[in-house]
Structure 1
Amino acid sequence: MAAAHPMQPHATHDETAEQLFVRDLKVWLTEEVEPVHRAAAAALDPGAQNNARVETVYAGLHAQSGFRAWASVRRTSQEMLWDAVGASVARQSAALAETAALPAPRGSVTLAPDFVVPRYLADRDVHLMPGGYGLDDGGVGQGAVMDQGGAVYMLGRNGGQMNDVRGHTVAAHIFARYPGFEPARILELGCGVGASAVPVAQAFPDAELHAVDVGASMLRYAHARAEHLGVAIHFAQDDAEHTRFADGSFDLVYSCVLMHETSEAAMANILAESLRLLRPGGVAVHLEVPQRYEELDLWGKIRGQIEMDYNNEPAWKAAISVDFDAMLRAAGFAEVAAGFQDATSQPQRGGGGFCGESKGVFRSWFVVSGTRP
């Protein structure tokens, strides 16, 4: 499998076959087997007036051996993904370290030896990725696992190997809501391997862009990845709830699918921190999964519960249930708007694409934005 950039691990023929098998297994489980259990859920439905509707159906499904087997194999497919990608990365660890050694970087990476990973990340391996976001392997290995694994996990629907549509979508949202906005200093909270930071930096080439995350390996990898893609970004190990930047340090603060990896209390803290970090007139943009709990059908709500229980996503329901519009207003933001931004890999000024209705997963992303008075 050809790499999309020099830092991405190169898969051999056999590694590619294994990774594509996992991808196809996931597709089969979703497209061929899942409809059977959706129908079973409908047969168990006590009606929308039942206050314990989701819990009742979920328990009924677990009484069926076929559902338990499907849920188990679905979880196993995720474990297989990380095992396959992890083995490929381990084989290339020396080469990746050499590629990450940059003689004259334009950006930077700053690590905090005393950093403590937030408990909601330290207590679980998010998405079942061994070691989670906070693992420090002393190099760039965990970042490489996240980058390649993320591309396979998203089945190529979020920008292929680059996995960068969400960052482009943030830029498109800014162009749609704030067409004349030209931020000089930008901060991404929870940047991961920088897949969303690079497209935002490209959209605002004159801006100074900073990005924070919890994992040292993630950040080393993100820095090298950005440099090889020709983008100068300043990465730092920090907590999105309480960063070390001074008040009013930025014109734009944003995040991409960060909230559902945290907790309900952390979400409120992150929004308050976004306001603190902005200069007057600055903009905050937070992008999340394109679902609102109250608008989901019965199976959609059960599917969310499956993510929580079988894919180490305990904040999933909270993130798609909270009223982000009200939370931004409570934090002190003005001109708040919440809705759905069309997914894109080619943001255009004046392109629009922000509305009140989702066009579906991978075709839209939920976005809330506002300004600091």
Structure 2
Amino acid sequence: MSGIAESRAALAHPMIAVPTHDELVEQLFVRDLKLFVGQTLEPAQQKIAAQIAPAIAASGSNSPVDDLRLRMQSFESFTTWLSLKRESQRQLWAAVEDCVERQADQLEALAAVDAPKGTLTLDPDFVAPDYITRGDIHLMPGGNAHDDGSVLQGAVMDRGGAVYMLGRNGGMLNDLRGHTAMAHLLTVAPDINPGRILDMGCGIGTSTVPAAACFPEAEVHGIDVGASMLRYAHARAEHLGAAIHFSQQSAERTTFPDASFDVVYSCVVLHETSPEAAINILAESRRLLRPGGIAIHLEVPLLHTLGDIWQELSSELEAQFNNEPNWRGALTADYGQLMRAAGFTEIRTGYQATAFNGRSALRKFGDTSDGVFRSWFVTSGRA
């Protein structure tokens, strides 16, 4: 027991599940398998697709992406890649779940924080939207809204997120996106001193704590649809010394009054919703802002224009094989137009350089992505 306690002390925060030697080896194997699938097998498939694409274009096909997929399926390497892509994700969650379930009692005890700085409000009658419940997003068993009255689903997401992101999203804290959102806020409004901040779709709070760290005097709120996620987020934030108010709500329509926040933001939420929900979330972020307030919506830096046949096929495969419900819609949306339609002004769309610390980060924002994990797509606007 003392060894585990010492290991916890050495980690980013006490709530994250600590693997045994064998569990860590298994998780590292899955990490390396995912690297092999993404960095060796996938580029090889892209090269094959590049050789096939000219013939499809010359044929005048009305469904070039479908034709490419049909032709690619004749290659055993393509079907093997897809199988390994899905199976490596399934193995990730299986390895992490074993680690978390072994420590269930410890994690529940740690979640019982005495004299918390923040608050947690759950709604026993809350019904999660169907785009969350119809499939297990990222193939995580139970999905984002699963709740058994414990913190375990949140703990699975936390440990699994570090492995899933291969440590590139802030190591065990998984907080680079939150820091990047704050860096963008300070890029466009360097003198801002917000009184109230809201993180929409906060999950386990990895993007929420950076707001509290960046603006310690602000009242910070985080909302999500998953009760287990929020229980874990609350405990995690408390152990990190952040006073955050978490509540179970849909980002499409919250219970907060009009014009009640100075900053409203989301991190990689829109691609896990639906086209209609994304529009509603942007409109809700506008409703919640005080005059002059700023909304920031951060997404993966993979936006592309229609016409790249491999990118389009890759997007379809990501949506299907990793249960990403709005992947294609979110990556091809005209966010400038969507923000205008929601009523924002001073709209910006582009790429914010990844930040390890929102307050002291390089405030680099522009039209060009530096690549995955080196920059994030951001759209922002003022009320």
- Provide TM-score, normalisation by structure 2: 0.94
Shift in Å at residue 349 of structure 1? Answer: 5.8
5 Å-filtered alignment, 1:94-109, equals: 94-109=105-120
Aligned: 1:15 with 2:23? yes
Task: Pick the aligned partner of 1:353 from 334, 348, 364.
Answer: 364
Q: Is the 8 A contact 1:305 1:317 kept in 2?
A: yes
Q: Is the 8 A contact 2:16 2:155 kept in 1?
A: yes
Code of the aligned partner of 2:13? H
1:350/1:135 CA distance change after superposition, 3 Å: closer
Q: Aligned equivalents of 1:363 and 1:6: distance in 2?
A: 28
SS of the residue 2:57 aligns to:
coil
Task: Pick the aligned partner of 1:259 from 262, 270, 291.
Answer: 270
- Provide TM-score, normalisation by structure 1: 0.97
SS of the residue 1:352 aligns to:
coil
Give 2:325's aligned residue: 314
Task: Pick the aligned partner of 2:57 from 37, 47, 59.
Answer: 47
SS of the residue 1:99 aligns to:
helix
5 Å-filtered alignment, 1:65-214, equals: 65-214=76-225
Aligned: 1:37 with 2:48? no
Q: Aligned equivalents of 1:9 and 1:199: distance in 2?
A: 21
SS of the residue 1:294 aligns to:
coil
Q: Is the 8 A contact 2:306 2:332 kept in 1?
A: no
Shift in Å at residue 66 of structure 1? Answer: 2.2
Q: Is the 8 A contact 1:192 1:213 kept in 2?
A: yes
Shift in Å at residue 50 of structure 1? Answer: 4.9
Q: Which moved more, 1:32-41 or 1:338-347?
A: 32-41
Shift in Å at residue 38 of structure 1? Answer: 1.2
Q: Is the 8 A contact 1:167 1:200 kept in 2?
A: yes
Code of the aligned partner of 1:195? T
Shift in Å at residue 350 of structure 1? Answer: 8.4
- The CA deviation string for residues 139-169 of structure 1, in whole angstroms up to 9 with x for no partner, is 1000000000001000011111111000000
Aligned residues: 372
SS of the residue 1:235 aligns to:
strand
Runs of 4+ in structure 1 over 3 Å off: 48-51, 295-298, 348-351
Code of the aligned partner of 2:50? A
Shift in Å at residue 296 of structure 1? Answer: 7.8
Q: Is the 8 A contact 1:3 1:9 kept in 2?
A: no
Q: Aligned equivalents of 1:248 and 1:220: distance in 2?
A: 27
Q: Is the 8 A contact 2:225 2:248 kept in 1?
A: yes
Q: Is the 8 A contact 1:337 1:370 kept in 2?
A: yes
SS of the residue 1:138 aligns to:
coil
Give 1:3's aligned residue: 11
Shift in Å at residue 36 of structure 1? Answer: 2.1
Q: Is the 8 A contact 1:179 1:349 kept in 2?
A: no
Q: Aligned equivalents of 2:307 and 2:359: distance in 1?
A: 31
Q: Is the 8 A contact 2:214 2:359 kept in 1?
A: no
Q: Is the 8 A contact 1:293 1:317 kept in 2?
A: no
Give 1:24's aligned residue: 32
Code of the aligned partner of 1:272? A
Q: Which runs of 5+ in 2 are unaligned?
A: 1-6
Code of the aligned partner of 2:238? E
Code of the aligned partner of 2:202? C
Code of the aligned partner of 2:48? A
Q: Aligned equivalents of 2:347 and 2:379: distance in 1?
A: 7
- The CA deviation string for residues 315-371 of structure 1, in whole angstroms up to 9 with x for no partner, is 100001111111111111111111000011023468420101111111110000001
Shift in Å at residue 39 of structure 1? Answer: 1.7
CA RMSD of aligned residues (A): 1.5
Q: Aligned equivalents of 1:292 and 1:17: distance in 2?
A: 35
- The CA deviation string for residues 170-191 of structure 1, in whole angstroms up to 9 with x for no partner, is 1110111111111100000000
Q: Aligned equivalents of 1:267 and 1:172: distance in 2?
A: 23
Q: Aligned equivalents of 1:321 and 1:263: distance in 2?
A: 13
